[in-house]
């Protein structure tokens, strides 16, 4: 009899909400742990403050001559908050963040120590980073990587450590992280978008790209979590029969938040606010034990830092509440997985959201220009954008009937779709005669009023226009948003640059500016039609239709990554100065390698659990039944025994079939793994794992899940779905 599972269940059931008392109102402590402008002003000299903020505003590198001044002020501020250590906080390609802590103390040589932190240490570090993935960019003998401060993202204190957001680059200047290309992509977009904005308003000097992420996650009681080795090792359950009640009743979505969870959320929000993360929205999600948290949107680079920080803070806070946070895209089969909707927009330094319809026809032409160019960019690079959100973990979500389909398309809603239709059909001269009548006919001038109705949502679209922004819904819950955002920024930047070339050439041929813009916009509307889809993205008809339209319909993740190496992808990354050919190649290698490793680990864990948890328990139960049958035979007559033991015998046979299958398949899976491991090329190895190992894992699981239904519940060692998902 297995008593551990029941002990853990009792422990989980007995928990009470952990109330966290705070004397202050959360808003009063906003950004308490952030070295923001207010703190800069207080802790830096007037001169240093001015020089620093100027270089931040202009996006310039930090002037070395003020670095010491900045470091001294920053250190003083951090020490007053109790910090004893500092770290360069960076985003290696492993995902998540990396940090190596150093104490402030420096020996003085006479047996004492001083708390030191110089400008040199602030600005640049040389962590020995030879074991971070680099896809062949660095050989171990030249393992030096540099981390360098990104002053556009403010330093912050977590616990006893001053964290300095940094980029992470190789000795030869190649990006080894996500932040570097993200920053480069915002520059590229700024440049290209500002040039296009200047057609409409010469005062625009800068275009900023914004991100508002919505983070979905699951919570599981930590006692139950600890007993699920698959959750601990891989972040998802590799087995487990669906619970009879799941999300069918749709009673969890937006329902009352359970008290234990609410206490966790409140605690988490307070921590976030102190770190300057402007969290705002919290609610239950569709699946049981699934929740969402969203902040107010911010400039992309900062928003992304905040998302990464949030993910690590939430893991810590969850422990205080005896929860574990699951950020995996698909922790449980049969219920919804988790995504991270990326709400993306562009705004000017003059305060205009380029995706908001304006007050007059000129502003609306600008709005339509940016909208249509974005659609064109998504059209041209739909495969690449899909690659940017693809991973071994997100693969469980895409293409399933609950999340964005594995085909990228854009949704605009009825009103905007109509406007584009009319524009496409109208003559350019009609459109630029901004008289009341033609404007009315085209519906362009009246966009703002029409748009007040913003309820037109299509949840099946991976890339939807939602009133004043696009929502890239396909991003995975555990991902670093940077991958998706830098790809989108690059695609749009490159398209806008192309747009400008076309418009300028018409202007050169003496076409009036407005007419030139309208002419090119009209041609883009016609060209990118294939990406525009308003229907049900989950339907089979759409899959067939999308293939006909020439959209990327590939579903194998390792093959989807090929999109990175297409000439048109390499060209936009290179032309926009975001990633060189070598950098793209190395990233692709890392993606294949990571894919392989994730599946490899899952497959090993599944094999182990199958052989040392499932099979022994099932055969133990079979022994009980056999014993039963045997004893019945010794007490009753043959005829009586025949009827009485019929059911037991049936189950004995059934169990035997499953055990045989599982044992054989686990052997075969080990064989398939070693074959795959022998392949040298990362791409082919990943494909072997995808094609050979993954299907075996699915089959083994299905037999295990059937055993779970027939084996005596008291003997089953692993917490079941109904326990993991419904006990809180």
Q: Are 386 and 394 in contact (CB under 8 A)?
A: no
294 binds, among Mg ion, ligand ADP, none (CB under 5 to 8 A by kind): ligand ADP
Nearer to Mg ion, 5 or 341 (CB): 341
Report DSSP letters for 17-40, one per residue. Answer: ------SS-GGGGTTTTB--HHHH
345 binds, among Mg ion, ligand ADP, none (CB under 5 to 8 A by kind): ligand ADP
Nearer to ligand ADP, 266 or 345 (CB): 345
Other beta carbons within 10 angstroms of residue 194's beta carbon come to 16
- Residues whose CB is less than 8 angstroms from the CB of residue 630 and which lie 6 or more positions away in sequence, other chains included: none
Shortest Å, Cβ 310 to Mg ion: 16
Stretch near ligand ADP under the rule CB under 6 A, chosen from 193-201, 210-218, 403-411, 638-646: 210-218
Count Cα neighbours of 58 within 13 Å in the Cβ-side half-sphere. 10
Nearer to ligand ADP, 119 or 347 (CB): 347
Q: How far apart are CA 400 and CA 405, in angstroms?
A: 7
353 binds, among ligand ADP, Mg ion, none (CB under 5 to 8 A by kind): ligand ADP
Shortest Å, Cβ 138 to ligand ADP: 35
Shortest Å, Cβ 404 to Mg ion: 12
CA 398 to chain centroid: 13
Q: How far apart are CA 589 and CA 583, in angstroms?
A: 10
Shortest Å, Cβ 378 to ligand ADP: 16
Q: Binding to ligand ADP by residue 454, rule CB under 6 A?
A: no
Instruction: Give how many residues touch Mg ion by CB under 5 A.
Output: 1
Nearer to Mg ion, 453 or 664 (CB): 453
- Residues whose CB is less than 8 angstroms from the CB of residue 661 and which lie 6 or more positions away in sequence, other chains included: 699, 700, 703
Q: Are 380 and 530 in contact (CB under 8 A)?
A: no
* The pair of three-digit structure tokens given for residue 189, joined into one six-digit string: 């977009």
The neighbouring-strand residues paired with 169 are 146, 175
Nearer to Mg ion, 276 or 467 (CB): 467
- Residues whose CB is less than 8 angstroms from the CB of residue 547 and which lie 6 or more positions away in sequence, other chains included: 553
Instruction: Please list every residue from 358 through 387 that binds ligand ADP, using CB under 6 A.
Output: none
Nearer to Mg ion, 281 or 657 (CB): 281
Report DSSP letters for 526-585, one per residue. Answer: HHTGGGB--S-TTSHHHHHHHHHTT------HHHHGGGGGSHHHHHHHHHTTS--HHHHH
Shortest Å, Cβ 479 to ligand ADP: 16
What are the two backbone dihedrals, phi and then psi, of residue 611, each rounded to the nearest 5 degrees?
-85, -30
Instruction: Please list every residue from 383 through 402 that binds ligand ADP, using CB under 6 A.
Output: none
Q: Interface mask (CB under 6 A) for ligand ADP, residues 313-352, using x and -? A: ------------------------------xxx-------
Nearer to ligand ADP, 104 or 465 (CB): 465
Q: Are strands 207-221 and 290-295 parallel, antiparallel or unpaired?
A: antiparallel
Other beta carbons within 10 angstroms of residue 198's beta carbon come to 13
Q: Binding to Mg ion by residue 469, rule CB under 5 A?
A: no
* The pair of three-digit structure tokens given for residue 616, joined into one six-digit string: 């022994």
728 binds, among ligand ADP, Mg ion, none (CB under 5 to 8 A by kind): none
- For ligand ADP, the binding residue among 2, 36, 152, 353 (CB under 6 A) is 353
3-class DSSP assignment, residue 261: helix
Q: Interface mask (CB under 5 A) for Mg ion, residues 339-358, using x and -? A: --x-----------------
Phi-psi region of 467 (alpha: psi -120 to 50; beta: other; left: phi over 0): left
Shortest Å, Cβ 341 to Mg ion: 4
- For ligand ADP, the binding residue among 224, 273, 294, 432 (CB under 6 A) is 294
- Residues whose CB is less than 8 angstroms from the CB of residue 7 and which lie 6 or more positions away in sequence, other chains included: none
CA distances from 93 to 167, 389, 391, 408, 480 (A): 12, 14, 13, 24, 9
Report the sign of the C-alpha dihedral through residues 410, 415, 416, 418, in that order: positive
Shortest Å, Cβ 725 to ligand ADP: 22
Stretch near Mg ion under the rule CB under 5 A, chosen from 130-138, 156-164, 338-346, 392-400: 338-346
Instruction: Please list every residue from 465 through 504 that binds ligand ADP, using CB under 6 A.
Output: 468-469
Shortest Å, Cβ 99 to ligand ADP: 26
Closest residue to Mg ion in the complex (CB): 341
Q: Binding to ligand ADP by residue 411, rule CB under 6 A?
A: no
Shortest Å, Cβ 213 to Mg ion: 9
69 binds, among Mg ion, ligand ADP, none (CB under 5 to 8 A by kind): none
Among 715, 609, 710, residue whose Cα is nearest residue 662: 609
Q: Binding to ligand ADP by residue 459, rule CB under 6 A?
A: no
Instruction: Please list every residue from 233 through 292 that binds ligand ADP, using CB under 6 A.
Output: 281
Nearer to Mg ion, 341 or 543 (CB): 341
Q: Binding to ligand ADP by residue 215, rule CB under 6 A?
A: no
114 binds, among ligand ADP, Mg ion, none (CB under 5 to 8 A by kind): none
Q: How far apart are CA 270 and CA 75, in angstroms?
A: 24
Q: How far apart are CA 185 and CA 579, in angstroms?
A: 9
Contacting residues toward Mg ion, per CB under 5 A: 341
Contacting residues toward ligand ADP, per CB under 6 A: 210, 212, 214, 281, 294-297, 343-345, 353, 468-469
């Amino acid at each position: 009899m297995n008593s551990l599972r029941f002990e853990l269940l009792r422990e989980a059931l007995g928990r009470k909400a952990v109330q966290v008392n705070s004397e202050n109102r959360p808003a009063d402590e906003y950004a308490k742990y952030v070295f923001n402008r207010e703190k800069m002003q207080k802790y830096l000299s007037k001169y240093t403050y001015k020089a620093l903020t100027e270089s931040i505003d202009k996006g310039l590198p930090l002037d070395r001559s003020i670095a010491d001044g900045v470091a001294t002020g920053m250190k003083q501020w951090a020490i007053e908050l109790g910090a004893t250590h500092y770290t360069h906080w960076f985003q290696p390609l492993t995902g998540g963040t990396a940090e190596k802590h150093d104490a402030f103390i420096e020996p003085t040589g006479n047996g004492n120590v001083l708390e030191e932190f110089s400008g040199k240490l602030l600005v640049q570090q040389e962590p020995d980073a030879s074991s971070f993935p680099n896809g062949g960019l660095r050989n171990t003998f030249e393992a030096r990587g540099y981390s360098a401060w990104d002053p556009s993202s403010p330093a912050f204190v977590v616990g006893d450590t001053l964290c300095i957001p940094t980029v992470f680059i190789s000795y030869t200047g190649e990006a080894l992280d996500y932040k570097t290309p993200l920053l480069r992509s915002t520059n590229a977009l700024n440049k290209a978008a500002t040039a296009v904005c200047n057609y409409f308003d010469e005062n625009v000097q800068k275009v900023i790209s914004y991100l508002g992420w919505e983070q979905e996650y699951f919570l599981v009681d930590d006692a139950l979590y600890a007993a699920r080795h698959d959750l601990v090792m891989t972040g998802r359950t590799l087995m487990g029969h669906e619970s009879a009640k799941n999300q069918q009743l749709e009673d969890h979505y937006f329902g009352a938040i359970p008290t234990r969870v609410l206490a966790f959320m409140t605690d988490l929000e307070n921590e976030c606010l102190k770190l300057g993360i402007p969290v705002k929205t919290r609610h239950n999600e569709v699946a049981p034990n699934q929740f969402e948290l969203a902040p107010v949107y911010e400039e992309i680079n900062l928003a992304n830092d905040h998302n990464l920080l949030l993910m690590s803070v939430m893991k810590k806070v969850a422990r205080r509440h005896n929860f574990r946070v699951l950020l995996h895209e698909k922790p449980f089969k049969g219920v919804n997985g988790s995504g991270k909707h990326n709400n993306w927009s562009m705004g000017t330094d003059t305060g205009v959201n380029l995706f908001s319809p304006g007050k007059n026809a000129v502003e609306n032409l600008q709005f339509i220009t940016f909208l249509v160019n974005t659609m064109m960019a998504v059209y041209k690079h739909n495969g690449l954008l899909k690659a940017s959100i693809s991973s071994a973990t997100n693969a469980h979500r895409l293409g399933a009937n609950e999340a964005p389909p594995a085909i990228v398309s854009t949704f605009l809603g009825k009103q905007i779709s109509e406007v584009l239709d009319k524009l496409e059909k109208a003559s350019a001269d009609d459109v630029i005669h901004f008289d009341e009548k033609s404007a009315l006919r085209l519906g362009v001038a009246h966009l703002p009023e029409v748009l007040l109705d913003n309820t037109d949502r299509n949840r099946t679209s991976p890339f939807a226009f939602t009133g004043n922004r696009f929502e890239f819904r396909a991003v995975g819950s555990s991902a670093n948003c940077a991958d998706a955002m830098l790809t989108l920024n690059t695609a749009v930047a490159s398209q806008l640059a192309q747009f400008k070339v076309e418009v300028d050439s018409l202007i050169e041929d003496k076409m009036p500016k407005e007419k030139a813009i309208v002419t090119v916009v009209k041609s883009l509307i016609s060209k990118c039609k294939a990406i525009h889809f308003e229907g049900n993205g989950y339907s089979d008809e759409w899959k067939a239709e999308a293939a006909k339209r020439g959209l990327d319909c590939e579903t194998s993740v390792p093959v989807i990554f090929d999109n990175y190496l297409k000439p048109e992808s390499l060209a936009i990354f290179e032309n926009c100065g975001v990633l060189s050919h070598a950098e793209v190649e190395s990233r692709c290698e890392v993606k294949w390698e990571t894919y392989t490793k994730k599946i490899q680990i899952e497959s090993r864990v599944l094999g182990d659990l199958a052989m040392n948890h499932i099979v022994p328990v099932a055969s133990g139960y079979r022994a009980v039944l056999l014993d039963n049958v045997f004893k019945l035979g010794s007490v009753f007559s043959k005829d009586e025994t025949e009827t009485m033991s019929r059911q037991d015998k049936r189950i004995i046979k059934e169990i035997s079939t499953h055990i045989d299958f599982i044992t054989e398949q686990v052997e075969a899976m080990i064989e398939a793994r070693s074959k795959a491991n022998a392949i040298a090329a990362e791409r082919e190895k990943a494909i072997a794992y995808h094609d050979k190992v993954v299907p075996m894992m699915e089959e083994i699981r299905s037999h295990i899940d059937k055993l779970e239904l027939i084996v005596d519940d008291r003997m089953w060692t692993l917490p079941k779905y109904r326990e993991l998902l419904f006990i809180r």
